[in-house]
Every structure is written in structure tokens, then in C-alpha cells.
Structure 1
Amino acid sequence: MNTDQRPWLAHYPAGIPANVDVDAFPTLKDMLEATMKKFAKKPAFSCMGRDISYHELDQMGTAFGAYLHYRGLQPGDKVAVMMPNLLQYPIALHGILKAGLVIVNTNPLYTPPEMKHQFTDSGAKAVVIAENFAANLEQIIQDTEITTVITTSIGELLGWVKGGLTNFVVRSVKKMVPTFNLPDAVTFQTALDEGKKHRLPTFSGQPGDTIALQYTGGTTGVSKGAMLTNANLVANAQQMYAWITQLLKEGTDGRMLCPLPLYHIFAFTVNAVAAFNIGMCNVLITNPRDQSTIVKAFKDNKIEAMTGVNTLFNALLNNKDFQKLDFRHLKLTGGGGMAVQRVVAERWQKLTGTALTEGYGLTETSPVATMNPFNDKLRIGTIGVPIPNTAVRVWHEEDQRVATTEERGEIQVKGPQVMKGYYNRPEDTAKVIKDGWLCTGDIGMMSEDGFFKIVDRKKDMILVSGFNVYPNEVEDVIAAHPKVLECAAVGIPSEKSGEVVKLFVVKKEDSLTKEELVAFARESLTGYKIPKEVEFRESLPKSNVGKILRRELREA
């Protein structure tokens, strides 16, 4: 795409190039190892008060990789990693990359059938799993190819006293570890100790090698493994480097808060790769639902940046202890994973003095495709502009043409971060990658000067008497009501109009009524967009990263 076809370049902050060197490193391993040498003495990750340096991570990653090689795993074999945010995660990740293996990130909240699908679909030969979920593994392991099992406890790397106390509370007080029987399993520490006795050969991979199988959420059918290559992840790291170093200095003493799970593609790339790559220490939050741990992390660390999703930011804004914190060090707040509501972004800016900057991406784009500028060109309510080396267009499906500005259509992305395809699913791959363009399934539009806005998911669109109603638009209006904590809009069948809008609401104040909400909606929405039904709930169903699951609400 020529420069004159990229109107968004005019909004790039000074110093950000239209194109970066996405081939700077042949593999992600090469990139991360160079970073670990560069910042050897600096802390790389912190969890529950324990820091590990870049050098320590390098050494432990090598030991872990040597153990996997010693157990017979060969380059290209798949290793599932299933745990919340713990120091064990980055160690396992680096060990897997050093041994030439493929990481299969697995949601620890998966049920046994979901685990079985992911492990059999990927052909995983080994698994690294927190003991809290090992009982589920026991139920399905005989149906998989897994021969190497490494279990870990929450407190395993926190030191003898703190780790012992943590494990006592988790196991005996809170009873969070169901009894399991995996006779051939070894502990994470045993794997590290054993690995130190063995030599890890040097494995030199290729840019096109798949190094991560990142499974899609399965909201549009069976969960599929997106094949992310060395080239994909190096490119996205380089693209992010150019963007975030406008605000965050390389090698800074400030830290980045990581409340989102590292097994999710957003935190995986932005925290474990991009922030890591600029020498920043990631402060891992093991259980983000316990907001007191986030408040404590802010008090104990110089937090310069954080990532999150709309529901998390909204919850923190309503937390009295969070409201009292000192935010003077905070420079960057990145929102993704779901739409950031305007009212949440505005309240965040008012409380912290820092803009809540929304970006956009998918598992299939490694994940970042667009970002808002971090300067006065930030545009709340948009997903910003395409990052370097990336083209985005709006496709008008009916006429098979590129939509004009302000015209709605499907968002499509082309760039070096677009996945190789879905693992063992050539037909599904062909449906979403056409002529190099990734068809995202998201409905959006581009402004005349190149800013993009997501209107909604194709599948979430509500059709009322032939008119399109986009749930995000309805939710944005309702979320601004002072008595609303959370909300979600879905379409339900109607004999008269095909579908009508139904609203699910979690109250902030008990006095809120349906009539009050409908009257509030009428001030901003045209008649057919106004909710016809309102259901109040104590909570809304959410994904592992806090994304509200409209699909479950529709099915209910």
C-alpha cells in the first residue's frame, strides 16, 4: 500500500516510522536472548514480592529447556502450559523456545472436555500445569499423546518461608487443590534441578517456523489453533517497540502491571514479549479478581504502564482503595480484548491523569493491528490507526469492494503479524485469509483521516425490522448511566420485528428500574435501538480475561 493510501500516517507521533525492520531477528528466541544479555542485571518479572532478573530467567529457561530435551522432546513438538500468572510461566516459555519447541497456551479454567480438545488437536507431548488443575488433567490424559507432566504450586518459586505459607493457605485453608494422581509427574523445581545436569544443544529455527499455537476462544464454533511463527511475533514486537518507546524509556526502572493472564495473546505479546523487550519488569498479578492485589502492586512498585480490559478498568474505578492511589508514575494504560467504553476511558483519565488508550487486534494478528497515538491525537471511541508495516481496510461484502470512508463493512488486516493459518485446518484458513487479507469478522468503519472504529462483531449484530443495531452502541449509552455497573445488549427473537434488543444490567445502585433505563436510552438512541426487555443480574458471564460473553446471555 502506497503512502497516499495510508492517510493514518499523518497521525503517527513524531519518531514512529511508517515501516520498521520486522526481520531484525530470525527467531523470537534470538530476540529474547539478546534482550536478556542487554538487561542481565535488571529485574524481568516480579510476582508476590519475588523478583527474578533477566540473567536468572536466562539461566532457568536454559535449565528448563534442557530438561524437556532430556525427556526426549524434539524440535517442533508441542508443550501445553496451563497456569495463572506465576514466575514459572516466563521460565517455561523461554525453556520451550530454547529447546525449539512449540508453546500451546492453555486456559487453566478449561473443563476436562475443553482440555482434551486442545491437547488432542495440538498433539501436545508435554504439559506444564498448576497443581490446582491437575485433577482435571488426570481425567483426560489417557486420551492424549502427553508423556511428560510437570506440575507446579502457587508458592513453588517464592522461597522456603513465603512459598511454604502460600501453599499451606492454598492447599489446606482454601482447599484449592483437589486430590490428583499423576504418578509420572515431576515438580517444576525438580525439572529445573534435573535440567542443570544436562546440556541443551543450540537449536536454530527459521522465521517461518510455528512457535506458538494460540487457540481462539471458540465463540464462533470449535476452538482453533492459530499458528504464530517466529516472523509473526518478532514483527509484532518490533512494531510495538516503535510505538511504546515514545512513552516508555528503554531500560526504565518503572514497571508494567500485568493483571491479564500471560496465556492470553494480549498479555503474551504486549507484556511477555514487547514490554520485556524494552527491559521493563512485568509485575504479575496471579488473581486479578482479587483487586486488593492490584492495589498492593501499585503501592509496592513504580507502575509506569499497565494493560487491561474494559471490565477490569471499570471495576477498579469503582474500588475505593484504588481511587486513593498515587498515579504520578503512570504513563501508559493500554486497553484491548474488548471495546473500551467511552465513559470508562473518560473516568480513567480523570482519576489517573493518564489516557486509557485503546488498540485492536486478534489472536490471528499476534495480536496488535492498530493503536491509538499516545499524544494529543488520541481519539477516544476509536481503535486508533494501523501500526507500522500494517494495512487495514473496510470491505463492503455485498459489492465486493473497499468501503468508502464512514461506510460500514468488515475490518480486514494485512501485515507481517498475520498468522500462518489454523493448525491442521486448511479450509478454515482459506475462509479467513483471502489474497493475504485477514477477514476479522468485525464490523467497522474508517474516518476520512484514517482512524478506525469497531462497530461490532458480525455475529453479535441485532436485526430489528431490517435495521442493524450494534450492541456496542447500546452498551456505550447505558454504561454512562450513573447507577449502572455493567451491561450487555443482545438480540432476542420477536414475531413483530424479527429481533428486539434485550439488555442485561448489573446495578451499581439498587434503586435503578427498567423504566429509568429505557427513558435514559431514549435520550440518545433512536426507537428501534431502545431495549424492549431489561433483566437485572448479580453478575454477567465473562471469559478468562473479563470479556462479557454475549453468546451465553443469548443462549440463556
Structure 2
Amino acid sequence: MGIKEKCWIKQYPQQISATLDYPDISIAQLLINAVNDFPNQDAIAFMGKRLTYQELLEQVYCFANALKRLGINKGDRVAIMLPNCPQSVIAYYATLMIGGIVVHTNPLYMENELEHQLNDADAKAIICLDLVFNKVQNIREKTQLSHIIVTGIADVLPFPKKWLYKLKLRKDGIKVTIPEEIGYYSMKQLISQEEPIPVEIVYHSKDDVALLQYTGGTTGLSKGAMLTHQNLISNTYQTTAWLYKAKRGEEKVLGVLPFFHVYGLTTLMHFAVHIAATMVLVPRFDAKMILKEIHKHRPTYFPGAPTMYIGLINHSEISKYDLSSIQACISGSAPLPIEVQDKFEKLSGGTLIEGYGLTEASPITHANLVYDRVKSGTIGLPLPDTECRIVHPETGDILGVGEIGELQVRGPQVMKGYWKRPEETNATLVDGWLNTGDIAKMDEDGYFYILDRKKDVIIAGGFNIYPREVEEVLFEHPAIQEAVVIGVPHEYRGETVKAYIVLKKGFQLTEKEIENYCRQKLASYKVPRIVEFRQELPKSNIGKVLRRVLKEEENNKSN
């Protein structure tokens, strides 16, 4: 499929090239570039603490030198188990500078999940938050860890916030004691003991693995996607080309998406550092906190997940805050309801567009145009240098415009493979084409529509039902805040549609009212036959509704 045959390129505005030049550099070089051009620009704003790009680089150098003294060398895996905070950025770039491979780890992991990931990656060291230190200590003997480096939010807070934070920990009965033994260290002390002597970046080729990004484990044990420096550089340049109005050295990016998820890593850290923007970091999502941060810091870009925007537009005090600084938001990780998109754009005056990606693609492959034509309900167009096609799920035959099948993608952002899993790599990557597992279609203009995960399609009475279509209808109801549907076993139909619904405050609905509403908008076989009202839905660390958790609950009921 040549460049000329990519019909979506006709939709590109003149500011976006169909193909880009990608430098053969380490992802760590982006930080050096930012410092060279904007040394005094704020790189990080975090709970009253500010770091310029020059100050950030000096701390990165200190920590990189400390890691070298601990014996961390090229190719060694270093786990980072931190929320969004300055230490997370420092640890990331320091590891990459000395040629290490980052293993991003969710601080919310349970001990068994953490043990699996650290052992699978053969991690030599971990930088963890003090609040999760006990989990790491409990599983240390079951892993290959040689070094445990601990840090805390209080380590970077200015007075009096530092004092107030420590006081709160004491009130909550939280006490963390780092053993005075070999193999345990304070990150703050390691940095303070070093001089910011420049470190020569250890980088051999574009195929060097920079990151082991573990998938969510929805199909079993999580797998480490090997993302190379070239994968990450490519996706950073693609994202920046898409956001062509961003001015280098002048922007602020709201950092709510966690860095330990590759979506947050690319659209926040990599993008921000590449354009020398200020990262306004937030350690966790809290609607009121986010509204305050937007009002105070006036960020221009706010990448997020649909549940974040839902939480904001439904907050009772949203009218008190000024959101007008926001120019653009890219929503990913889950389908963006059109109603949510419209409401957020009216409240902020900015553009909220839906994009698409997956861990194995660093992660972004598609997005709606930010400053031009948007097709609501689609994931937009493929990014520059990204090839896409729809194939028949069983035969692999390439399908035409409007036909429904599995989405395959190919481009410089697609992973090298799965860590230590050649068979799964070969099943997922075929001639460079990545099997996404998502059911999709493309229209005549080259816009793509994700209908659902291949495994989430509901088959009722021989009919294929795509959950997203039903969920879009439910979201249009003025009383519904969140909704997700799954297929549950049915004696006659094979499967039937069940809806889980969270109502907006002050609203009431009955199962029958929802059924009658859906019958006006959906074919009868698509109408939810079972409705369960919930106070909240199970979500991942970036706010994606965990459909698999609901399926597991249903399976447990039937067993």
C-alpha cells in the first residue's frame, strides 16, 4: 500500500506532511535539546514546586551518575513505580541516559502482579514511592532485585507543604522506614551525594529497547511490549506534527494521565519535553483538584481519558473555574461519547478530539484533526507514516470501504515485539503489520471507526452487536452519567445485552424506562435486556472502564 493509495492523506491540512523525518537519537536527547534552547523555561510545576529545564537536567545527571555507581549498565532493566511527580521524570531520563531499559510499574499493583512483572523483566533495580515500599520489600526475595530506591512526595515539596504532608501521614498512621542495609537507598540522598557532571548518552542504534511497557493483561498474564528509542521518537514526532499549532517553549501540558501508562508517557512527557513545555503534574485524578489546577496554571493542552472529562463536566462546582486556557485535548484509552465531547468543548472553548492507539504502537496510530475537520464518533485519521487496513478476522482478506473487520496497523511506532515471547510476537506481528484485535471500518474519506474489541462483540441470535453503538445511545440519555454493556449468557439467544449504568446525581430511572428509550433508537436485538444500576464502574489507572472485570463477575455468578 503506497503513500498515494492512502485516501486519508487527502484530508490532511497543508501543515501536516504525510511522511516525516525521524532523527536517529535516544529519547533522552529530547531533554538535552530542550535545555539547550530553553534552559530557564519551567519544565515541571508540582504542588508548589517548580523545576526549570536546566535544574531538571542537573538532577537527571546526578541520578544517572548514582545509578552508574550502583552498577546499572546498558540493557539493565530498571523499574519505576511512581505516580506523576518530578522524581518519575528524573528516574526515567537518568535510566535512559546510561542505556538502561525502563520498566514502568503501576503503584496500585498488588504484590502478585508486581512480582510477575519484575521477574518477567528481570529487573535489577526499582525506584518506588515510599507509600508502596512495603509491597516491594515483601516480594524482594522472590525477585532478582539488587537495589531498591525509595522516594516520597514530601521529598520535593516546598515548606510548609512538606511539613503538612508529613503531618497528614502521621495522622493516617503511615510510617515508612527504609532499612539501613545494603540494597536500600533514598533517592533524595543518592542525588544529593552526586555532582551534576554531564553524562554521555549510551545509545547504539534505533533498535535499542528503551521501554518495556506491560500490557494490561486482559488476555492473561501481562506481556512486556519492547518499545525502542526509534518507536518512541517516531510517535513523539507524529504527535507533535498533529498538534502543529503548539509553540515551542510557550505551552503548558496538564499531566493527569500517569506516566506509567504509555499514553501518558507519549502525550505528556515526550510531547512536552520535545516542545519544551511546562508539565503541570498531578499525582492522581480528582475532579476538583484538576479544576483548580486548570484555573491556577492555565494549561493549553490536556490529554486525558473519557472518564476524566465526564468527571469534570458533571462536577457541581465547575462553573466556579475558568477553563478557557485549554486549546486542545486528545482523548484516548476508551470511546469518547459525543455528548461528553460537546459539553466539554462548550465549557472550555477548546477542542476535544478522539484518538486511538495501543501499547504495542507507542501508543498512538490515529487521531481526529485538532484544528480542522472532526468526525465525531470516529477515531480520526492515521498519523503520518502510519499504514492501516481492515482485514477479515478469519481469512485475513483485505476488506474495502465500509466493510467491517479487524484493524491492522504498520508504522515506525509499532513495537519490536514482546519481551521473551517469540511465539506471541509472531502471532501479533506479521510482515510488520500489527494485529490490533479491534473490530473497525473505514469510510470513503479515510476516517476509521472502532466498533469494539474482537473479543467484546456480542453475538445474540446470530446477530453481531457492537457494545459501543449501544453505549452511545445510553450516553445520550440526560440522566445517565456512565454506561457500559457486555454480553451475558442466554439460554435461547446464546448471548444477550446487559447494561451497567451510573446515574447522574438527583436522577432516577427504571430498567423498563431504559428499555423503552433504547427501543426508540436501536434495533430490538440490540436493546439491553438486563440493566444493573451502580454507584461506580470498575476502572483502570487511567480511567478506562474494565469490561473484563464485569465479565468475570458474571462468570462467577453462573459458576
Alpha-carbon distance in 1 for matches of 2:319, 2:433: 43
Q: 1:258-407 alignment to 2 at 5 Å?
A: 258-288=255-285, 290-407=286-403
Q: Are the structure 2 counterparts of residues 541 and 63 from structure 1 closer, same or farther at C-alpha, using a change threshold of 3 Å?
A: same
Structure 2 partner of 1:229: 228
- Once the two structures are superposed, residues 20-69 of structure 1 have per-residue CA deviations (whole angstroms, 9 ceiling, x without a partner) of 102x2322122332222212110111111211111111110011111010
Alpha-carbon distance in 2 for matches of 1:517, 1:180: 54
Q: Once the 2 structures are TM-superposed, how far is the Cα of residue 180 of structure 1 from its aligned partner?
A: 7.2
Structure 1 partner of 2:57: 58
**2:482 is matched with which residue: 476, 479, 486?**
486
Structure 2 partner of 1:107: 106
Q: Once the 2 structures are TM-superposed, how far is the Cα of residue 555 of structure 1 from its aligned partner?
A: 1.2
Q: Once the 2 structures are TM-superposed, how far is the Cα of residue 179 of structure 1 from its aligned partner?
A: 6.7
- Once the two structures are superposed, residues 62-94 of structure 1 have per-residue CA deviations (whole angstroms, 9 ceiling, x without a partner) of 111110100011111000000111111101111
SS in 2 for 1:535: strand
Alpha-carbon distance in 2 for matches of 1:459, 1:403: 20
- Once the two structures are superposed, residues 374-400 of structure 1 have per-residue CA deviations (whole angstroms, 9 ceiling, x without a partner) of 133111111110111111111113342
Alpha-carbon distance in 2 for matches of 1:528, 1:181: 61
Alpha-carbon distance in 1 for matches of 2:319, 2:216: 33
Q: Are residues 1:186 and 2:182 paired?
A: no
Q: Are the structure 2 counterparts of residues 339 and 318 from structure 1 closer, same or farther at C-alpha, using a change threshold of 3 Å?
A: same
Q: Are the structure 2 counterparts of residues 148 and 199 from structure 1 closer, same or farther at C-alpha, using a change threshold of 3 Å?
A: farther
Q: Are the structure 2 counterparts of residues 198 and 38 from structure 1 closer, same or farther at C-alpha, using a change threshold of 3 Å?
A: closer
Alpha-carbon distance in 1 for matches of 2:481, 2:278: 32
Q: Are the structure 2 counterparts of residues 213 and 455 from structure 1 closer, same or farther at C-alpha, using a change threshold of 3 Å?
A: same
Q: Are the structure 2 counterparts of residues 197 and 19 from structure 1 closer, same or farther at C-alpha, using a change threshold of 3 Å?
A: closer
Alpha-carbon distance in 1 for matches of 2:166, 2:404: 53
Q: Are residues 1:18 and 2:18 paired?
A: yes
SS in 1 for 2:153: coil
Alpha-carbon contact 2:24-2:205 (below 8 Å) kept: no
Structure 2 partner of 1:41: 40
- Once the two structures are superposed, residues 164-214 of structure 1 have per-residue CA deviations (whole angstroms, 9 ceiling, x without a partner) of 322321x21234556775844221211101232877455233211001000
AA aligned opposite 1:378 = V
* Unmatched segments (≥5 aa) in structure 1: none
Alpha-carbon distance in 1 for matches of 2:229, 2:200: 19
- Once the two structures are superposed, residues 239-295 of structure 1 have per-residue CA deviations (whole angstroms, 9 ceiling, x without a partner) of 112111x2321211x41111111111011011110122111111111121x222211
SS in 2 for 1:195: coil
Alpha-carbon distance in 1 for matches of 2:91, 2:317: 34
AA aligned opposite 1:452 = F
Alpha-carbon distance in 1 for matches of 2:171, 2:263: 33
Alpha-carbon distance in 1 for matches of 2:180, 2:397: 56
Question: TM-score, normalising length from structure 2?
Answer: 0.96
Question: TM-score, normalising length from structure 1?
Answer: 0.96
Which has the larger displacement, 373-382 or 30-39? 30-39
AA aligned opposite 1:257 = L
Q: CA RMSD in A?
A: 1.6
Alpha-carbon distance in 2 for matches of 1:242, 1:117: 37
Structure 1 partner of 2:453: 457
SS in 1 for 2:439: strand
Structure 2 partner of 1:437: 433
Alpha-carbon contact 2:13-2:372 (below 8 Å) kept: no
Give the aligned length: 551
Q: Are the structure 2 counterparts of residues 416 and 385 from structure 1 closer, same or farther at C-alpha, using a change threshold of 3 Å?
A: same
AA aligned opposite 1:296 = K
Alpha-carbon distance in 2 for matches of 1:177, 1:535: 41
Which portions of structure 1, spanning 4 or more consecutive aligned residues, are displaced by more than 6 angstroms?
none
Structure 2 partner of 1:75: 74
Q: Are residues 1:420 and 2:416 paired?
A: yes
Structure 2 partner of 1:552: 549
Alpha-carbon distance in 2 for matches of 1:303, 1:504: 34
Structure 2 partner of 1:501: 497
**1:473 is matched with which residue: 456, 459, 469?**
469
AA aligned opposite 1:249 = K
Alpha-carbon distance in 2 for matches of 1:539, 1:327: 26
Q: Once the 2 structures are TM-superposed, how far is the Cα of residue 321 of structure 1 from its aligned partner?
A: 2.4
